Amino acid sequence: MERIDLGIEVVKKTGKYLKEKFEGVLKLKETKYDIKLLQDIESEKIIIEEIQKNFPEDSLLSEEVGLIEKNSNNIWIIDPIDGTLNFYKGIPHACIAIAFTGENEKFGIVYDFFKEEIFTGIKGKGAFLNDKKIKVSKTDKFEDAILGIGFMRSKKEIDYALNFLKKIIRKVKKIRIMGSASLDICYVASGRIDLAIHLGLERWDYEGAKVILEEAGGRLKEVEKEGIRIFEITNKKLNLLK
């Protein structure tokens, strides 16, 4: 089995489990701005077990387990639920995100199991939504643009984001705060929104979707300002970060 085929197979299997458990959510831990569910742990187990069974020499980096390092340059990067708080509150907007980087292969898979939408990107081969090729939007004016944004990870980030919003909110057509970084990136990749700003992301939050975005003609740029890591996701025609 090819790794990309395994990735698609495992996100479908995990998505089926998550849909079955959508109305039986069990909270394990809660912080001021985040939450951890049993479903995070169990869905991650499904993904890791399948990868280790088929490719035991591959390394893994996952949100819940951390780094499982093997004697290989191949690594899978896994977010078992991106949009956990949405999932917990019964909002059907969440996904599973997987990236793979190896010596001769690189791809990303983001599966919105509620809508049964699978975004895929294979380096050098394009980006797809349910096997149909996708491209970023051609929007080149801020007054025509829809901006996605994600923050709420710390008080410092919230303060920064509110100041940022004061500067940008009158320049764009609409702003959307949807609660899943990977899906925001895929929405830029598919032209549903035109650009996005997220703060303080971890690798599992964006690596899978980043491959899709780049293959669709977009760009993810990271900068640090005032000690805050800022991620700009864009169709390349619109740029907020200088």
| CATH number of the structural domain spanning residue 182 | 3.40.190.80
8 and 98, same domain (yes or no): yes
State pTM to two decimals.
0.94
Q: Write out the residue range of the structural domain in which residue 20 sits.
A: 3-133
Burial 43-69 (b: 16+ CB within 10 A, else e): bbbbbbebbeeebeebbbbbbbeeeee
User: Mind listing the pLDDT tens digit of every residue in the chain (242 residues)?
Assistant: 799 999 999 999 999 999 998 887 767 667 766 677 889 899 999 999 999 999 999 999 998 889 999 877 899 999 999 999 999 999 999 999 999 999 889 999 999 999 999 999 999 999 999 999 999 999 999 999 999 999 867 788 888 888 888 888 899 999 999 999 999 999 999 999 999 999 999 999 999 999 999 999 999 999 998 888 999 999 999 998 76
197 sits in which H/E element: strand 195-199
148 and 222, same domain (yes or no): yes
- The rounded distance, in Å, linking the Cα atoms of 38 and 28 is 6
- The rounded distance, in Å, linking the Cα atoms of 127 and 80 is 21
Q: Which of 231, 196, 204 is nearest to 44 (CA)?
A: 204
Q: Which of 143, 145, 148, 117 is nearest to 130 (CA)?
A: 117
- The rounded distance, in Å, linking the Cα atoms of 127 and 189 is 8
In a domain, 240, yes or no: no
230 and 179, same domain (yes or no): yes
Return the residue matching tokens 């380096």.
123
123 and 178, same domain (yes or no): no
